[in-house]
Chains A and B, each alone.
Chain A
Amino acid sequence: MAVDSDLELMLRVRRGDAESFEVLLRSYRAPLVGFFARMVRDPALAEDLAQEVFLRVYRARHRYTADARFTTWLYRIATNLALNAIRDRKGSAARAEAAGEVGESEADRVPDPNPTVEQRLMLSERERMIRRAIEGLPENQCAAVILHKYQGVDYLQISKVLGVSESAVKSLLFRAYENLRARLEPLLKEGQL
């Protein structure tokens, strides 16, 4: 992740350089869609949210200041959007349950109602177990693990993204990985790598 160049690109976007925005879009579209897909499980919603992040970045370009790493700013926007989407979905699910609508549980729900063959293959049993284990974590632990493990964001940045202290992030990650270790024990024992 080219930290300084991203920051410089964003400063150019602020000055009205559209090409720099294109470079940022190409660099971060896959990481952001991947992040949201893991956070919200719905591929269509993941793309909508990733698009919203780019739109917010563009709209806020005049207010951008180079006082933090670009990725910290980007993932702060993304994490807030993801957590809000999860809360909205939980609220909708709770309302549906209260209204007596019978449906499958959150963990069992397949994101896309019509998954392609490729998507079916991707949802292998092992992958499904991991997904369920991470999704079953509390919100902050889930976000911290996805940022740390899959997005390659270091714990200092995670502390700024989540708005907590560095020691709190270390503790959060430790509890999250301990939870995952317990939940994924069958995979760890079988040595399925």
Chain B
Amino acid sequence: MNVNSNCLEREQIFSHASKMLDARKENEVRAHLESCAACRAIAAEFDKLDAVLDAWRPAEPSPGFDARVRAAVTASDSAKPRLFGIHWSQFVAPACLVVLVVVATLVVFERRRPAASRTTAYPTAGQAAPPPKQGSALPAQASAPADENELSLYQNLPVLEDYDMLANFDVLSELPKGEKKIAN
């Protein structure tokens, strides 16, 4: 057996035997194999191994295999919820798009509204606010100016005679003491 000093690497010979080389490399390897018995012997080993491996025969599917696959596919189809014959997953993208458009529209609309219309209109100092309805739960900020107006109304009441009633009148008890005009 002639051993060439430029012998190919085993991996290169394997790549040739397995047809994994590009055209240029394949030509180079073929040319070398023609002149090198040692490399040809290695290539023959790989060919022989390939032939030996053919002895492992494949298993065949059993006769009922197709029927089982069809049954599994049918079961899979019927298990998934459908609307008008369309799979639910086909609704996801359009539904997300609609939600996105609605949210974006609301945001843009809210930003374009005039500032005055976005805030609650409080009564001015000269206006008398109507007394709050019983049981109404107004926010603290909104009820503060209304309370001041209410107090000014009570301050201008005519002098009352019934001290007991006045003493028990909650709103008047909150007035500054020096400004009370109570006749004894």
Tell me how far the C-beta of B74 lies from the nearest C-beta in chain A, rounded to whole angstroms: 10
Is residue A12 contacting chain B, with contact meaning CB distance below 8 A?
no
Tell me how far the C-beta of A82 lies from the nearest C-beta in chain B, rounded to whole angstroms: 13
Query: In whole angstroms, what is the CA distance A187 to B51 when docked?
Result: 11
Query: In whole angstroms, what is the CA distance A174 to B14 when docked?
Result: 7
Query: In whole angstroms, what is the CA distance A46 to B68 when docked?
Result: 13
Q: Which residue from chain B places its CB closest to the CB of A134 in the assembled complex?
A: B56
Query: In whole angstroms, what is the CA distance A27 to B33 when docked?
Result: 39
Which residues from chain A contact B90 at a C-beta distance below 8 Å?
62
Is residue B58 contacting chain A, with contact meaning CB distance below 8 A?
yes
How many A-B residue contacts, CB cutoff 8 Å? 106
Which residues from chain A contact B72 at a C-beta distance below 8 Å?
51, 54-55
Contact with A along B11-26 (1 / 0, CB 8 A): 1001100101000000
Is residue B87 contacting chain A, with contact meaning CB distance below 8 A?
yes
Tell me how far the C-beta of B70 lies from the nearest C-beta in chain A, rounded to whole angstroms: 8
Most A-side CB within 10 Å, residue of B69, B73, B87 = B69
Q: Which residue from chain A places its CB closest to the CB of B14 in the assembled complex?
A: A174
Which residues from chain B contact A10 at a C-beta distance below 8 Å?
none
Contact B61 A21 (CB under 8 A): no
Contact with B along A87-129 (1 / 0, CB 8 A): 0000000000000000000000000000000000010101100
Tell me how far the C-beta of B88 lies from the nearest C-beta in chain A, rounded to whole angstroms: 11
A21-B73, A174-B11, A181-B45 known; A51+B65 contact, CB < 8 A: yes
Most B-side CB within 10 Å, residue of A50, A124, A174, A180 = A174
Contact A127 B56 (CB under 8 A): yes
Tell me how far the C-beta of B162 lies from the nearest C-beta in chain A, rounded to whole angstroms: 84
Tell me how far the C-beta of A170 lies from the nearest C-beta in chain B, rounded to whole angstroms: 6
Tell me how far the C-beta of A94 lies from the nearest C-beta in chain B, rounded to whole angstroms: 26
Q: Which residue from chain A places its CB closest to the CB of B17 in the assembled complex?
A: A177
Contact with A along B145-184 (1 / 0, CB 8 A): 0000000000000000000000000000000000000000
Contact B58 A25 (CB under 8 A): no
A38-B56, A51-B69, A188-B48 known; A30+B61 contact, CB < 8 A: yes
Question: What number of B residues sit within 8 Å (CB to CB) of A?
Answer: 33
Q: Which residue from chain A places its CB closest to the CB of B72 in the assembled complex?
A: A55
B residues adjacent to A (C-beta < 8 A): 10-11, 14-15, 18, 20, 45-46, 48-53, 55-62, 65-66, 68-70, 72-73, 76, 87, 89-90
Pull 20 A–B residue pairs with CB atoms less than 8 Å apart, ordered by A: A29-B65, A29-B66, A30-B60, A33-B59, A34-B59, A37-B58, A37-B59, A38-B56, A51-B69, A51-B72, A54-B73, A55-B73, A59-B76, A126-B52, A127-B56, A127-B57, A155-B20, A177-B18, A184-B52, A193-B52
Q: Rank and list the top 3 A-B pairs by shortest CB-CB distance, nearest first.
A: A34-B58, A37-B59, A33-B61
Seed contacts A33-B65, A130-B52, A171-B11; 15 additional CB < 8 Å A-B pairs = A29-B69, A30-B61, A34-B59, A37-B58, A47-B62, A47-B65, A54-B72, A55-B69, A55-B72, A58-B73, A122-B57, A131-B56, A149-B53, A170-B15, A192-B52
